[in-house]
Structure 1
């Protein structure tokens, strides 16, 4: 989620109807940290390739989930976990007529209840960004060949990636994860996303691709 993500939907830019509904709900409930459109279009494209289950941590009011649902093919299930009960309720209302979507309330680890995933978006826990938050384990949560997404980075200008002059350890965690082929995708001047694919053979090379 992005700090001013909800405001990005005030421009009148055309977005899928479900995304527009979720953004309106976020605005009405004063939630500003919605998924930005640049990130949302990436999620929509990735969701189109999923064949089983799509997961997300950090539902918010459902904007990112709406992008995922808008891209998912028929028969694909979507599961999202939200820690805040009020936001989980708002999101459930947004998707009340979308039976493929399930909203769970609680700690992000509840996402494990529906594993393994074809696509997993870590936006509200398990992404290695917070102190004391144990990172999600791709080998446990993803099918072989499944993809994981971690957003809200600023584009890196070199290697190793730096944040405020120091090595960006959360970003490095994913880019060099032994269970993933991972890459950084710049989406805007101030926004980048990491996408990783679980290795099919389980063999680790020690270093994943270093991104863009």
Structure 2
């Protein structure tokens, strides 16, 4: 693993943070970060493990911005720009070539309104939404009902989105913002 990721994992263990980015997801983020030309944003910094994967993949000169609600965790991960606050603060510095929605803006819970990719992304920019289990049916279901958050992103009119299974129990959605017609 890249040294920056190893340091972030050590910080997460020291602070008792158990929800860090898994290596399967991290490698995907690292690859996607390499395609960003100017800016990358992430919600839900945690202790900076996902952010470390993004930083190891990003080209020199690409701006990385992350937002974390918990001030202590934000300070732990502060090797790059980490804003303290709710996820929507990333809009202050939009647009981005890549946005990773991990700590808000996904719409998985009622009080979390989904992010607007047209506002956050450059045309051709990508959004990543993780922490799904691989879908076994169409339409995808969660707890016996249609998986509305997943369907929101898979059918979003501003995006072309695909589900990528990363492990037996882990899938990620990656969407590319359509170009204006």
Q: Structure 1 residue runs of 4+, over 2 Å off?
A: none
Larger Rg: 1
Give the corresponding residue for 2:4: 18
> How many residues get paired?
181
Partner of 1:123: 102
Structure 1: distance between partners of 2:91 and 2:177: 16
Shift of 1:185: 0.1
Question: TM-score, with normalisation over the residues of structure 2?
Answer: 0.99
The 1-side partners of 2:180 and 2:65 are apart by 27
Q: Which residue does 1:141 correspond to in 2?
A: 120
Structure 1 vs Structure 2 CA RMSD? 0.7
* 1:70 alignment partner in structure 2: 56
Aligned-residue offset at 1:124: 0.5
Residue of structure 2 aligned with 1:34, choices 3, 16, 20: 20
1:81 corresponds to which residue? 67
Deviations, residues 44-99 of structure 1 (Å, cap 9, x unaligned): 0000000010000000000000000000011101000000011111111xx1xxxx
Deviations 1:129-183 (A, max 9, x none): 1112111000000000000000000000110001121100000000000000000
C-alpha distance after superposition, 1:11-47 (max 9, x if no partner): xxxx100000000000000000000000000000000
